Amino acid sequence: MTTAERRTQAQRREGTIGALLDATVTCLATRGYAATSTAAVCAEAGVSQGALFRHFPTRQALLVATADHVATRQVEAFRSLGSPGVDSADEVAAVLGHLRGLVLSPVNQTWRELLVAARADDSLRAALHPARESLQAQMLGAAADLWGDRLPADDLAAVLSIVVNMLDGLAFSALDPDPTAAPGRTVERALRLLAEMIVRHYPSQEHR
């Protein structure tokens, strides 16, 4: 640690803010909303509480900033799926499996934790509202880019709603602390069945 001791103020600022946001993500994902106290976040980030309250006027401001932070990362992860085929049930099932991985990721866990907390907190709900709308629109846009040529727009939104809501529901039901635990027989069967139902309802043009 002999070099690069000198940083500009903007660099210092960005560094600690980034550390605080990342620490908030890991605290929310591992300890949950209630246990994500300012002290816990500061300990995780390796800074003092004074530093936190210099950059964020209140705990809620930190949480809202974290929500915006993870929202952008969510669309990135979704788009980084590439453009997988959805012609056969196997391919759709593979896509569902990948989506399940995304939904179970810490980033998405953070997002869910904030949404749940927002239900009982009016001002947090209001503060999270724009990010929520933006995220939904961007996810729908990404889905349209990937598969918009196969489904009418209304149906695409409906299928997306079915899939992500089911995966979110699964994430809430999966209380195992180990995120890579065996998905369970019925869960695998349910995903497989959903894939089959989708391809049967929207057969690809080649097979017609």
Partner DNA sequence: CGACTTAGATAGCGAGCACTCACTTTTTAT
Partner DNA sequence: ATAAAAAGTGAGTGCTCGCTATCTAAGTCG
Binding at 5: pick from DNA, its own copies, none (beta carbon under 5-8 Å per type): DNA
User: Does the protein bind DNA through residue 38 (CB under 7 A)?
Assistant: yes
What is the per-residue burial (b if ≥16 Cβ within 10 Å, else e) of 55-88? bbeebeebbbbbbebbbeebbebbbeeeeeebee
Residues 47-106 that bind DNA (CB under 7 A): 47-51, 53-55, 57-60
Q: Which of 161, 179, 181, 204 binds its own copies (CB under 8 A)?
A: 161
Binding at 82: pick from DNA, its own copies, none (beta carbon under 5-8 Å per type): none
Q: How far is the CB of 72 from its own copies (least distance, A)?
A: 19
Q: Between residues 5 and 178, which has the closer beta carbon with respect to DNA?
A: 5
Residue 19 near residue 45, CB atoms below 8 Å = yes
Residue 69 near residue 21, CB atoms below 8 Å = yes
Residues 26-85 that bind its own copies (CB under 8 A): 30-35
Cα–Cα distances in Å, from 162 out to 33, 37, 81, 110, 167? 26, 34, 19, 21, 9
Cα–Cα distances in Å, from 175 out to 20, 25, 170, 172, 185? 26, 18, 9, 7, 16
Residues 104-143 that bind DNA (CB under 7 A): none
Query: Which amino acid type is present at position 67?
Result: A
Report the interface residues with its own copies, using CB under 8 A: 30-35, 112, 115-121, 125, 154-155, 157-159, 161-162, 164-170, 172-173, 175, 186-187, 189-190, 192-194, 196-198, 200-201
